[in-house]
Amino acid sequence: MTYIALEEAFILPELAARQSPTPMRIRATDRYAAHCGRRLADFEELRLPDMDAHGIDIQVLSLSVPGVQADTDATAAVADARFANDHLAETVARHPARFRGFAALPLQDPEAAVSELERCVRQLGFRGALVNDHTHGRYLDDPAYDQLWSALEELRVPLYLHPGSLPYDDWHVMRGRPEMYGASWSWQAETGGHAMRLIYAGVFDRHPTATLILGHLGEFLPFQRSRLDSRYRTLRVETPLERMPSQYFGSNILITTSGVPAPEAVQAAVLTIGADAVMFAIDYPYEETAEAVAAIEKADLAPGVKEKIAHLNARRVLRI
Centre a 10 Å sphere on the Cβ of residue 195 and count the other Cβ atoms it contains. 25
At 76, the amino acid letter reads A
CA distances from 37 to 32, 46, 257 (A): 8, 12, 22
Cβ atoms of 211 and 161 closer than 8 Å: no
- For 46, counting Cβ atoms within 10 Å of its Cβ (0-12 exposed, 13-18 middle, 19+ buried), the class is middle
The DSSP string of 64-130 is PTTGGGG-SSHHHHHHHHHHHHHHHHHHHHHSTTTEEE-B---TTSHHHHHHHHHHHHHTS----EE
In the chain, the DSSP E strands lie at 3-10, 56-63, 99-101, 129-132, 159-162, 212-214, 253-256, 278-279
Centre a 10 Å sphere on the Cβ of residue 299 and count the other Cβ atoms it contains. 21
Strand partners, 131: 161
Closest CA to 266 of 291, 244, 239, 230: 291
Is there a catalytic annotation at residue 283?
Answer: yes
Closest CA to 270 of 220, 208, 217, 213: 217
- For 302, counting Cβ atoms within 10 Å of its Cβ (0-12 exposed, 13-18 middle, 19+ buried), the class is exposed
Pairing of strands 129-132, 99-101: unpaired
CA distances from 246 to 100, 283, 298 (A): 31, 26, 28
- Active-site option among 50, 71, 133, 283: 283
Residues forming the active site? 283
